[in-house]
Structure 1
Amino acid sequence: MQCTWCEKKEVQETTKTCYWVMPDGKDYVEISQIPAKSCQNCGIYLTDEMNQEIDNHLYMKDLSDYSNSITFNDLLEAPVIDVFSLK
């Protein structure tokens, strides 16, 4: 596997905890156990694809039953927002 930034081939799979601002901009969520890359030169980082995936899930998932801390797997398994029942 190759590093996205420095292109070295010594990248390993790991996980990372990050904070995201919710789509409404009024709150944040701590997401733990996010699949990430670890490079000796660049440190631990999320790929652009992973950033986009998290953004997409935050827009379409109903997290009202969760606290401000959630695991990546819980985010993926959260129910989809029912836009037809919104007022």
Structure 2
Amino acid sequence: MKCEWCDANEATAISCTVYWELPDGSRAIEITETPGFYCNSCGMEYQSEKIIIQLEDQLMIIDTKKLEKTTTYEQLMAQPKLLKQNYFRFN
């Protein structure tokens, strides 16, 4: 797969841990088992734009006060939604 950072064809899909600041700025959480990529050429570990948007949108539409300091990606995405969508994302 082509790396989004160095354009080498050495990126592979991985599961990784990311740290995300909550939309209200009150704290950051650890999100484990997050889909991502690792490039063997440049050493960069990153998430695709699709995953970043999913994380940001989910954190905007759930009750983040109920989140623990650490959660898995699947647990985060399974949280009950307060809104149908992120109405602050203007496409």
- 5+ long unaligned stretches in structure 1: 83-87
Kept after mapping to 2: 8 A contact 1:29/1:68: yes
Kept after mapping to 2: 8 A contact 1:21/1:27: yes
Q: CA deviation at 1:66?
A: 3.1
Letter in 2 for 1:79: P
- 5+ long unaligned stretches in structure 2: 84-91
The C-alpha deviation readout for 1:13-55, integer Å capped at 9, x for no partner, is 1011111111111121111111000101232111222212111
SS in structure 2 opposite 1:64? helix
Bigger Rg, which one: 1
SS in structure 1 opposite 2:66? coil
Rounded Cα–Cα distance in structure 1 between residues aligned with 2:51 and 2:67:
21
Report the TM-score when normalising by structure 1. Answer: 0.82
Kept after mapping to 2: 8 A contact 1:31/1:71: yes
Kept after mapping to 2: 8 A contact 1:10/1:39: yes
Letter in 2 for 1:14: I
Report the TM-score when normalising by structure 2. Answer: 0.79
> After TM superposition, what 4+ stretches of structure 1 lie above 2 angstroms from structure 2?
62-66
Give the total of aligned pairs: 82
